[in-house]
Structure 1
Amino acid sequence: MHDSLLKPAKRIALLYILVSGLWILFSDQAVNMAFEDPFWRNRAQTVKGWLFVLVTGLLLYGLVLRSLKRLRTVALEDPLTHLPNRQAFEAELNERCRHANQYFCTSILDVDHFQDLNDEHGHAEGDDLLLALRRSLDRFLDEDWYIARLGGDEFGLLSPAKLDKKTARETLDQLQRELTRTSDHPSLSKHTLCTGTSFHPSDGGTARDLMRHADMALFHAKTHGRDQHAVFNEDLKFRLMERLALTKDLKQACDDLSFELVYQPQWNMERDLWIGAEVLIRWHHPKRGYVSPAEFIPLAEEQGLISVITEFVLTRALEEMRQAGIGHLQLPRLSINLSRKALLDQHLMQRLFDRARSKPEQRPALILEITETAAMENLQATLAAMEAWRQQGIAFSMDDFGTGYSSLAMLKQLPLSELKIDRSFIQDIPQDRNDEVITQTILAMARVLSLDVVAEGVETADQAAFLTQFGCATMQGYYFAKPMPIGELKALLEKDNATAQPYR
């Protein structure tokens, strides 16, 4: 910024000195040559002086105005894409909002997982993607649309005032579907976008309200599967306010560690004993009651709280096992869920490892479960992290197997010791032939890869019999045992495993 001001100032000063010097040098000579009479010569000198003031004043005005225009351009233009920046976008939006009856939409668009691209390939690759996106927007939208880069990977769009609400929405829906898919740039074609839109004047009469509501719609799109275009409405606003309140309460719960653990035992059909247990977290909200992990765990990942929760689960589980006197002989294995973000957090994993290797002979062996979808999201980074921890003795299980898109080639790269068949394939056995075939295929894959298998969600004797017939020995579900507090788990394990009966 200092250089951008210094250069115009130097140019103005040098030009002023040049014009002034030439004026002084030649104007006196011209007056002396033109007037011999002292009276008229004095009058001419006075006029010359006023002309000097006028000319230099006009000169300075022109130079300063030109410099200010250049500075204004710099201040209102994004240096990478040469689009208007956030300040210019908000100024344009404010101007449009002065016309109360004017109909137009405000949209905020950004690239899904853009930060991952920067982290993995560098900011130069990210800049190339943003430039490709800018070109694609220019091709897709006509010149009446106002396009700006708001910062980072966010772009702002203002529809033409003449465009009706239905047409604007259809255009943005089509933009959402086709923008990246029709791009000839390799990086952009591999990514998806999210867009949030608000309409003037129905969704707000000020720039602040329209931007805030478009941002709410964008947030809704990102938290409901991504690759979506969401349009603001009051119901969306209510749900977002609820989510913000839940986020605040979750942060407080993480500060207070006000969670509980339950354990769902795993039964081995071949050995007729409890061979392990999965640790499950529970959150009883003081006003909402029980909050499902399916609701608050993704929220914790979003808000950067998942490390706190993961560390709490492992630490509390090991402590409860120690206090209950449950060791390796009573319960050989203990499974704990692990998010991808936690897996890639080296400091967290080191703390977990330090706790896991403390007196390992006195506790069940730990198995960390990561979902198939999370593992496939960034295979190379996941593979590197899992391999590093496997070499230090950590065992991994793939949870919810069959619900993602992993191939056998990808699966064999991961350092796994176990697969868990998702309950969605078990619940309709034996009525659903497709689920039977999928389950048999998973069991066959596991045998080829020499992996143990645990079937989740087993609730009937028919399901257990089918799984046993096709080689699945270990199962968990309500047919065998419900999730239970540590005291009930201890009581269950104190029975003779050889004579333990499945839960009815």
Structure 2
Amino acid sequence: MKHLFTHSARRIVLSYVIFSACWILFSDQLVFWLFKDAGAQHTAQTFKGWFFIAVTGALLYGLLQRTLRSIERITLEDSLCHLPNRLAFINETKKRCAHEQRAFFSLSLLDVDHFADINDSQGHGAGDRVITDLAACLQSALKEGWYIARLGGDEFGLLSPPASTQRELVAVLDALQTSIPQNSSLCRLTVSAGTSFYPEHGDTCRDLMRHADMALSSAKHQGRNRHYLFHDQLKQNLIDRLSLLEDLREACNTRAFSLVYQPQWSLTQQCWIGAEVLIRWQHPKRGAVPPDQFIPLAEREGLIHPITEFVLERALKELTTAGIGRQQLATLSLNLSHTVLINEAVMNRLQGRVHSHRDGQPDIIMEITETAAMENLEATLSAMEYWRAQGMRFSIDDFGTGYSSLARLKQLPLAELKIDRSFIQDLPEDVNDAVITQAILAMAKTLSLDVVAEGVETPEQAQFLKDNGCSVLQGYWLARPVPIGELTHILAHTIDL
């Protein structure tokens, strides 16, 4: 950019110097040749000077105008898609908000779901092709009058034609989800969008963009591939989420969490064989904050790493203090986020803590959900194979809720899988759940995997699982998640099953 502006300045100066030199060299000779009288020559020289000023002024004006237009294009146009950029979009929005007629219009923010995965897996060239193809798709799908801009990265901004009705705009924006052609670069591409309306949701560019961004953020958090309209509750939800995030950061700093353990009963050995360690957060004002509320927030905000390290370190310390070793508890299961699994530095620290407490301690089994494992199978497989070679054992949690096939599942270096509680809760009455559970147990047997059934709450469920070859049970009927002190008491008693 700097060199481009310098080049323009050089061109202007050079043009001016050449024209001036030619004028000085030839104009005087022309005057002397045309006029012999001294008075006439003097008058001609005066007019020649004014003419020089007029011509050079016009020349400079033309050159500067061309250069400024070029600078304006560079400043206000996206170089990849040749669409207006963020600055141009903001200027256009401000102009519409300041218009005396105050015509109704919508402002939408749209971006590509999981765009970073495209860049990481296929390279930035593939990402650029996705952006240019999406820009072309938007220009084709939206009728004349729409203002389309690329705001940066994978984010686009849309301004509707003035004076359209809200119903018309919502219909057009919702249709964008299905109008993306699934060609080579946009294959399986989904987008999320958020929209605010002028003047209902704000009468300034800042408010409209902020509220559209809140709607886009909500669409992302609710599963992506959807279009959300701003409403006041979104603002309150964002305030609540930011407040919870601030409290969660403080809880991580002060380690204001506690642990509970849910034992697992072996049907083959007729004894307690393991336990799953679970985190709890008792907030001084909010009360008990459910894990399904703060764990996803911790994953999105990068706090899951210190939380996972805390859980492992505290669990190993509590087991040692309580005198619970491998003889009383063969395995301890720890929930593992996919972001932790692929973070080598964090996994190294986790492995270091496991090795430092290995003598007499239960074996650690890292649980990762099926959905997370299948989201990026290559990265998951690479990380699991590496850490298995370092002595770690892995389990697939919530099995049956994802989309893994037998061919994909057998690639993973697993020690066990856990049947999701949603298939257990209606056993044995629900025929579909019974068939699915039997199929999972048969598949696991084929792959030589141990199976843990989660959510066992009745003796009938336990008996069905036992009859169909399930090896380990976990659930409220056997034992609820309890603090370390109560775990010692539970492990001292057996179950008649």
Q: Could you tell me how far apart the structure 2 residues matched to 1:89 and 1:14 are?
A: 36
- Which runs of 5 or more structure 2 residues have no equivalent in the other structure? none
Task: Give 1:501 deviation, angstroms.
Answer: 5.5
Match of 2:98 in 1: 98
- Which runs of 5 or more structure 1 residues have no equivalent in the other structure? none
Task: Give 1:171 deviation, angstroms.
Answer: 0.7
Match of 1:311 in 2: 309
Match of 2:117 in 1: 116
Please say if residues 344 and 385 of structure 1, whose CA atoms lie closer than 8 Å, have aligned partners that are also in contact.
yes
Q: Could you tell me how far apart the structure 2 residues matched to 1:87 and 1:125 are?
A: 26
- 1:206 counterpart (204, 207, 221): 204
- 2:229 counterpart (211, 228, 231): 231
Match of 1:257 in 2: 255
Provide closer, same or farther for how the CA distance between residues 187 and 320 of structure 1 changes in structure 2, counting only shifts above 3 A: farther
Please say if residues 96 and 102 of structure 2, whose CA atoms lie closer than 8 Å, have aligned partners that are also in contact.
no
Q: Could you tell me how far apart the structure 1 residues matched to 2:319 and 2:72 are?
A: 66
Please say if residues 217 and 236 of structure 1, whose CA atoms lie closer than 8 Å, have aligned partners that are also in contact.
yes
Q: Could you tell me how far apart the structure 2 residues matched to 1:195 and 1:160 are?
A: 18
Question: 2:340 is matched by which residue type in structure 1?
Answer: A
Q: Could you tell me how far apart the structure 2 residues matched to 1:145 and 1:352 are?
A: 52
Please say if residues 176 and 195 of structure 1, whose CA atoms lie closer than 8 Å, have aligned partners that are also in contact.
no
Task: Give 1:39 deviation, angstroms.
Answer: 1.5
Secondary structure of 1:118 counterpart: helix
Bigger mean CA deviation after superposition, 137-146 or 390-399: 137-146
Bigger mean CA deviation after superposition, 447-456 or 8-17: 8-17
Q: Could you tell me how far apart the structure 1 residues matched to 2:238 and 2:151 are?
A: 22
**Superposed CA offset, 1:391-437 (max 9, x none):** 11101000000001100000100001101000001111122111111
Task: Give 1:473 deviation, angstroms.
Answer: 2.4
Please say if residues 459 and 478 of structure 1, whose CA atoms lie closer than 8 Å, have aligned partners that are also in contact.
yes
Q: Could you tell me how far apart the structure 2 residues matched to 1:30 and 1:271 are?
A: 115
Confirm or deny that 1:88 pairs with 2:100. Answer: no
Task: Give 1:359 deviation, angstroms.
Answer: 3.8
Match of 2:26 in 1: 26
- % identical aligned pairs: 57
Q: Could you tell me how far apart the structure 1 residues matched to 2:286 and 2:244 are?
A: 9
Please say if residues 136 and 183 of structure 1, whose CA atoms lie closer than 8 Å, have aligned partners that are also in contact.
no
Please say if residues 214 and 230 of structure 2, whose CA atoms lie closer than 8 Å, have aligned partners that are also in contact.
yes
Q: Could you tell me how far apart the structure 2 residues matched to 1:388 and 1:444 are?
A: 28
Match of 1:164 in 2: 165
Match of 1:488 in 2: 486
Task: Give 1:191 deviation, angstroms.
Answer: 2.1
Bigger mean CA deviation after superposition, 417-426 or 247-256: 247-256
Confirm or deny that 1:183 pairs with 2:182. Answer: yes
Match of 1:42 in 2: 42
> What's the RMSD between the two structures over aligned residues?
1.2
Please say if residues 368 and 395 of structure 2, whose CA atoms lie closer than 8 Å, have aligned partners that are also in contact.
yes
Please say if residues 316 and 357 of structure 2, whose CA atoms lie closer than 8 Å, have aligned partners that are also in contact.
no
Task: Give 1:376 deviation, angstroms.
Answer: 0.4
Please say if residues 141 and 179 of structure 2, whose CA atoms lie closer than 8 Å, have aligned partners that are also in contact.
no
**Superposed CA offset, 1:350-372 (max 9, x none):** 11111112241321000000000
Q: Could you tell me how far apart the structure 2 residues matched to 1:441 and 1:394 are?
A: 27
The alignment covers a number of residue pairs equal to: 496
Residues 89-488 of structure 1 aligned to structure 2 (within 5 Å): 89-99=89-99, 101-179=102-180, 182-184=181-183, 186-488=184-486
Bigger mean CA deviation after superposition, 283-292 or 204-213: 283-292
Bigger mean CA deviation after superposition, 83-92 or 248-257: 248-257
Secondary structure of 1:361 counterpart: coil
Please say if residues 401 and 420 of structure 2, whose CA atoms lie closer than 8 Å, have aligned partners that are also in contact.
yes
Question: 1:356 is matched by which residue type in structure 2?
Answer: V
Q: TM-score, normalised by structure 1?
A: 0.97
Q: Could you tell me how far apart the structure 2 residues matched to 1:369 and 1:358 are?
A: 21
**Superposed CA offset, 1:440-467 (max 9, x none):** 1110110010000000000001000110
Q: Could you tell me how far apart the structure 2 residues matched to 1:386 and 1:463 are?
A: 32
Secondary structure of 1:283 counterpart: strand
Please say if residues 77 and 83 of structure 1, whose CA atoms lie closer than 8 Å, have aligned partners that are also in contact.
yes
Q: Could you tell me how far apart the structure 2 residues matched to 1:237 and 1:359 are?
A: 47
Q: Could you tell me how far apart the structure 2 residues matched to 1:379 and 1:27 are?
A: 78
**Superposed CA offset, 1:472-497 (max 9, x none):** 1211111000000011111222x2x5
